[in-house]
Every structure is written in structure tokens, then in C-alpha cells.
Structure 1
Amino acid sequence: MSRFKAIFLDCGDTLIDERTEEKLADSEVVIRADLIPGAKEMMDSLKAAGHKLILVADGPRQTFVNMLTHHGLWDHFDAHIISEDVGVHKPDARMFDAALAAAGLTREDTWRTVMVGNNLSRDICGANALGITSIFMAWSTLRTHEPANPSEVPDYRIETPAELPGLLEKLEALTKYRVPFAQR
């Protein structure tokens, strides 16, 4: 039985190279952007391994439809939790609660989820606040890699998407027989 019941993934500089974004004129809607190296292979690997994948991203819904559909990744996700739809941005707990609900989970299951993102103040802080395992994607240099305070310190750090499947396998092996203290 897999420890992780859902993998939450950000999009910008976690899957998509934000430096390549082309926006609709006079709009925040991105019409196209390149994937970061290894993102497609990572997503294919996670999907093939049977992980439940949930997009947890800030921005206009159409941005993610455009970018992820273009690269054949929209349908890799079991659900799409997007700030425009939820009405708040990460690190607001409502984004993560919506992702948990979409995965059929509750806050009691946060130890069984992972959040992968590039933004310490949004992705990592939000995940940490709820007890979700946080993984910092340190691929891009657009945002700081230095936590501003303890709430932004990630549980794990990876440099490239190619590292994520292996890290998840290691974490699964380490916790295969462990039950969180609160569950004992």
C-alpha cells in the first residue's frame, strides 16, 4: 500500500519554464510556454506509477489549460485546483483543502500527501502549515531559494523534475511500515 495518496504539483517553474511564457495581449493569461527539462518524463513516470496527481496552482484557469494541454499534461492530473476557481492563492489553506477534497482526503490525511513547488512562501509554507510533506523544486532562479523563516523550510529539495520519482520511492520505502504518531 502506498503511503502517498496524492501528489500536489505547482505549475510555474515546477513543470513550465516561467521565462518562456507568452501572454495574451493586455492579459495575465499565458497562451504558451515551454516545459522545464524533464517535466514531461517526470509526469509520465508518476502517472504510470499510479499516483493521484493534483494541480495546485495560482493564476487564471485558462493559463493552465493552455500550457498543460499544449504539452499533453492536462489529462495527467486527476483534478485541477486553481486559485481563480477557489478565490484565494497559496499559502491559503483553502487551496490545500480543495486539493485534499479533490483527492478524496481530509486534513487527517495530510501526512499521506506531498506538495511539489518552486515558491517557498506559497507552496512550501502552505504545505508545511497543514503537515503536507513539502518538496522544493529548486530548478529556477526566478525566486529565492532561502527560506525567510522556519515556515518556509521544505522537508526535501530537488534540483530537477527527474529527481522526484526516485525521491518518492525512497520516501515510500522509509515509511512503508511506519504509522504517524497521531494514528497510533
Structure 2
Amino acid sequence: MSLKTTNDTTTIDPNAKKLIVFLDCGDTIIDEGTEIRDDNDIVIEANVIPGADIMVKTLAERGYILAIVADGRAQSFKNILTQNGLYDYFTTMIYSETIKASKPSSRMFKAAIGALDLSEQDCSRIVMVGNNLSRDVKGANAMGITSVFLSWTPRYPKLHADESEIPDYTINHPLELIDLVEKLNEELG
């Protein structure tokens, strides 16, 4: 539930959704195969996966809180998300560089939960969408967060190494996430 404050009056935002969406960035929103890096290994340019920009914008416009939970360097994400017009759609952005941990570490997920003023009791209403079974899915599963595997890229394994890497849901294209998120939000009541 989201609250909206205007002129010292607090009301429930009728467009707010119960479900919270955590998204990885590389090969989930941005096509890693298009990344151009500078001499300091900062990504200075990259393209979105076809449909990923529409997915992000649609979910945000429908009232979902979106958070980036990604391994990498903050400046890289700022560059590519700004370049592709997506930076402002995220309520918070959690990066391994600033957290000093990488997924599947619970520190990444806990940082996002804390940044959104949630608690671990809220894990059941969070989905983590990512392209990496050993990082995104394994980390989400360990936290009790619903895991969604985006099986779009050929760069990462598509078969789980063990039970901890089995996703709750698998999608093949970013646009498939919209209907899945709407269904999961409805199931929350």
C-alpha cells in the first residue's frame, strides 16, 4: 500500500500495487552484448533488450514500485539507464559496488528492502527478475522472494546447478513480465 501526501493530507494512493518488482539490469533490461566501455571499464553506452524499455515504463505507469538490484558499477548503470530514458522509473537502485557484495548475497536484497522502507516480512510480495540462475534466482529464493528467470540471453546457463537455482517462474521476453506481474499482484489480493 502506498500513501500519497498532498497539502498536509495523507491518502492511500489508489494506483499503488502491493507487489514490488526488483530487476537486474544486464541482460534483463540492457543487452550486455551492446555495451561499450571506457578505459576504466565503465559502461558508457548500451542498448536495451527489445521490449525491456516498454516493460519498465508500463510497470511503472501501472503503479508498481521498481528497484534495480544489480552487480556492477554505479556509474555504468547511471550512464546506460539515463541514455535509454529509464533511470527515473526506479524508486531505488542497489549496486554491488556500493554494497560491497554481489548477488546471491542477501546483503544486496536486504539493501533494496531497506531502501524501500520495507522489512523482511515483505519478501512474499517482492519479485526478483534476472537473467542469472546462480545469482538472481538463487539469491531471491534464499530470501523468500519470488524468483523470475528471464531466459533471453545465450550468455548464461539456462539449466539450474542445484535446487537453490530453480526459479518460481521463467519468461523468455521482457514483455512477458507485465502479465506475470499483474497476475502475481492480483494473487496478493
TM-score (norm 1): 0.92
Cα distance in 1 between the residues matched to 2:181 and 2:93:
21
Partner-residue secondary structure (3-state), 1:114 = strand
Cα distance in 1 between the residues matched to 2:46 and 2:23:
17
Partner-residue secondary structure (3-state), 1:147 = coil
Deviation of 1:112 after TM superposition, in Å, equals 0.9
Q: Could you list the per-position Cα deviations for residues 58-117 of structure 1 after superposition, in whole angstroms to 9, with x for gaps in the alignment?
A: 011110001000001111100010111101101100000000011111111100101000
Partner-residue secondary structure (3-state), 1:37 = coil
User: Is the Cα–Cα contact under 8 Å of residues 28 and 60 in structure 1 kept in the other structure?
Assistant: no
Deviation of 1:33 after TM superposition, in Å, equals 0.6
Return the match for 2:186 from 148, 167, 173: 173
Tell me if 1:17 matches 2:64: no
Tell me if 1:53 matches 2:66: yes
User: Is the Cα–Cα contact under 8 Å of residues 52 and 78 in structure 1 kept in the other structure?
Assistant: yes
Cα distance in 1 between the residues matched to 2:115 and 2:64:
14
Cα distance in 1 between the residues matched to 2:186 and 2:68:
25
> Any stretches of 5+ residues in structure 2 without a counterpart?
2-16
| Residues matched between the structures, number | 174
Cα distance in 1 between the residues matched to 2:69 and 2:156:
18
What amino acid is aligned across from residue 103 of structure 2 in structure 1?
K
Higher strand share: 2
Cα distance in 2 between the residues matched to 1:114 and 1:73:
19
Q: Which residue of 2 aligns with 1:182?
A: none
User: Is the Cα–Cα contact under 8 Å of residues 125 and 188 in structure 2 kept in the other structure?
Assistant: no
What amino acid is aligned across from residue 35 of structure 2 in structure 1?
E
Return the match for 2:98 from 62, 65, 85: 85
TM-score (norm 2): 0.89
User: Is the Cα–Cα contact under 8 Å of residues 128 and 148 in structure 2 kept in the other structure?
Assistant: yes
Structure 1 residues 33-182: aligned runs within 5 Å: 33-176=46-189
What amino acid is aligned across from residue 153 of structure 2 in structure 1?
S
